[in-house]
Amino acid sequence: MKSLRIYLIVFSALLFIYLIAQYNRPKKVNWNDSFDFNEKIPYGSYIFYNHLNDIFPGAKSQTFREPPYNVLNDHAIKTANYLFINTWVNINEYDYKKLEAFIKNGNNVFISASYFGQELNKKLNIKTASDFKIDKNERQFHFTNKYLDTSKKYPIDNRINDYYFLNFDTTKTIVLGANSDKKVNFLKYNIGKGHLYLHSNPYIFTNYALLDSNDRAYAETSLSFLKNNKTFILDQYYALGREENSSSMRVFLKNPSLRWAFYISFFSLVLFVIYEIKRRQRIIPVIDALENSTLGFVNVVGQVYYEQHDNKNITNKKIAYLLEHIRTLYNLKTSVLDDEFIKSLAHKTGIDAGFVEDLIKYVDLLARNENISNAELKKLNKLIEEFYLKASK
């Protein structure tokens, strides 16, 4: 018993020192794309959500994690501004019809995204692209509306992607803004009594951007085109997906104090079990011979990648394999993934050009990003598997 007491005292002291070190260790910055209104990480939208009333005094906001069709159909919302902010806003046919009717009744819809999905691309004849510039002086946005100072330039931080509209119908749109190369990044559509606003730089509404005075001024001016009708619908469906039922364990681990209490209890129990095992005869395990098979090798390699949790590495390999497959099977060069490449690939595979464009654009987006979330990796895998399936038919 004396040896056990000494062992527990030493372990407790080491555990206490470890906890103090962990508590005081600088936290690693999470640069993942979030757009979550509750997240204070650089690419979260906590500041935007909590300071919306600074731009629209007295306005009330409602947050939904449902598709636009469900929001407008099930919640009987007649008058509001509907805001979508995410890198990818993939509105389907039914959502668009519901939004169109909502706009015609005199409401405004504001969508800020880098990619707008196949349905909006088809209905509005729009395409987006991006430029990469290192010099901050070269990255400037400005407004073209006659009621604003069109000569005023807003310098944009290097971490804010510079997306713009490569293609749009000039007969149906009003250009509201552009970048320093005069490439349009802000459009307005008059639909019935209301308006649809398309903005191609969603990162300008994240915490990282809104802490900068120039970026914040630009974001506030962009939103000022909306009329203050006292009600705002804020979308979180495209950023977070449908709301899941939170289990008691998930809520328990979300609280730091409860989480550490759980960890200490768990490891103390493990220590007790290990000590008790030493006092009894251990069971001699039967070790089977290693299987020298392809399936076993794949499982081992997959487990290694899973444990490392290196999403960027996995993404690069999946993209490299996809491009090698295209080069080998369809004899296409993959050095430049432009519209000509997309057209050629769609022609040779017989797959719908819209799907091929969505796949290649998403591949290009993830290839540029350094931090890949689990959701982005799953989506990439789903698109690639769907491509293989369609190409084999």
Whether residue 233 is predicted with pLDDT greater than 70 in this model: the reply is: yes
The label of the residue with tokens 């540029």 reads 368
Top-confidence residue, 230 or 216? 216
CB of 234 closer than 8 Å to CB of 109: no
List, for residues 318-373, the tens digit of each pLDDT value: 888 888 888 888 888 888 888 888 888 888 888 888 888 888 888 888 888 888 88
- Give the separation between CA 94 and CA 96, rounded to whole angstroms: 5
CA dihedral 233, 69, 206, 124 (to 10 degrees): -110
Q: Averaged over 107-124, what is the pLDDT?
A: 95
How many CB atoms within 10 Å of residue 305?
13
pLDDT over threshold 80, residue 2: no
Percent of the chain with pLDDT over 70: 85
The confidence score (pLDDT) of residue 83 equals 97
pLDDT tens for 135-193 read 555 678 999 988 888 889 998 887 788 899 999 999 999 999 999 889 999 999 999 99
d(CA 41, CA 26): 14
The pLDDT value given to residue 322:
85
Residue of higher predicted confidence among 305 and 343: 343
Q: How many C-alpha atoms does 245 have within 13 Å on its Cβ side? A: 2
Average pLDDT estimate for 121-148: 82
Structure tokens at 52: 């919306």
What pLDDT shows up at residue 216?
A: 93
Q: Which residue has the higher pLDDT, 132 or 272?
A: 272
Which residue would you say has higher pLDDT here, 377 or 78? Answer: 78
Question: Alpha carbon 366 to chain centroid distance?
Answer: 10
Where in the chain are all domains bearing CATH 3.40.50?
46-240
Find out whether 225 and 188 touch, Cβ atoms under 8 Å: yes
- Of 93-97, 148-152, 242-246, 327-331, the least confident: 242-246
Tell me which CATH code domain 46-240 carries: 3.40.50
Q: How far is CA 240 from CA 39, 163, 261, 373, in A?
A: 11, 22, 29, 12
Q: What DSSP element (H or E) covers 201?
A: none
The answer to whether residue 384 scores a pLDDT higher than 50 is yes
How many residues in the chain? 393
Instruction: Read off the pTM.
Output: 0.58
Report how far apart the first and last C-alpha atoms of the chain are (Å, whole number). 71
